[in-house]
Amino acid sequence: MAQTRCGLVLSEEKQKKIFFKTIGREDEYLFHKERLLERDIAESILTCPANQRDISYREGYERLHKLLLSLTGEQSIYHGVNLQRALRRQSLFSRIVGKNQRVLEVGCGEGFLSIALGKRGNVVTGTDVSDICISIANRNKSRFSVENVDFLVMSASKLDFRRGTFDWVISVDLLEHLHPQDARLHVNEAARVLKLGGKYLLITPNASVGIHAGDTHIKEYNYMESVELFSHAGFSSKAPLIYYAWPFTFLVDIKIKLFFQRFLSNQNFLYTLTSLDPIILIATKRG
């Protein structure tokens, strides 16, 4: 089992609802086939030698994306994706970054957030370990006629950029798919490629709410673990107190966030309280 931390595992029915919403239809066979493949990918990443993990990531997620593409006519990894709607969903996060920034999105998938950031006037590089994702992202870039966005196949733990290149690094639903050693390497690499005072926007499932995908996620983090991970790499971190109001609410020190989380410590309640899930963290590179 890939996920080794103690905690509440979301029921299969809840996992199905999330998955069906993602793919745009109810398909029990696909759910079980996809989960089995993701378990195999997670186990392969956890057990292979460190110097072979990049290959394991790439080969595993290429297999997963080929499975999903076989059911979508090879236009999108997910069923029935509406390109305009998908882009609008990312516009909220693009407002966090603002305009005229140099941005790196790691684990960009089909590229919608990177494109939304580019449409706001930012210079954006999106990276993903999957050739399939980058191919689709480039196709989406052409559809939306965005020139200031580039997409590259690249490992999250080996960012091939010069020191101090970016104002922002962003990852959405990436950290939980990385081997813990690679997660640390990735955050260290992010610190290297960020300018002094640059920021990292992290969005990842909150393990305190419950394990979201059973043993298909390698490791889910809580707020304390996330802060410690970034602190070791030279970041100071803050988070929005109330998720629903994001990005219009103010950022608070993580101690205040954790106090709020402990105050609402009943796990069943935490599961339903979306203000604590997902983790949203803005980490600033210290001098």
Per-residue pLDDT at 275 exceeds 60: no
Higher per-residue confidence, 161 vs 13? 161
Beta strand segments in 220-260, E: 235-240, 251-253
Query: Average pLDDT of 151-177?
Result: 97
> What domains are defined for the chain?
82-285 (3.40.50.150)
* For the chain, percent of residues with pLDDT exceeding 70: 80
Tens digit of each residue's pLDDT (9 = 90 or more) over 62-111: 999 988 887 666 677 765 556 666 667 677 778 889 899 999 999 999 99
In this predicted structure, what is the pLDDT of residue 2?
Answer: 43
Give the Cα separation of 269 and 277 in Å (integer).
12
- Enter the tokens of residue 169: 């690094």
By C-alpha distance, which of 235, 239, 252 is closest to 286? 235
Q: What pTM did the predictor assign? A: 0.89
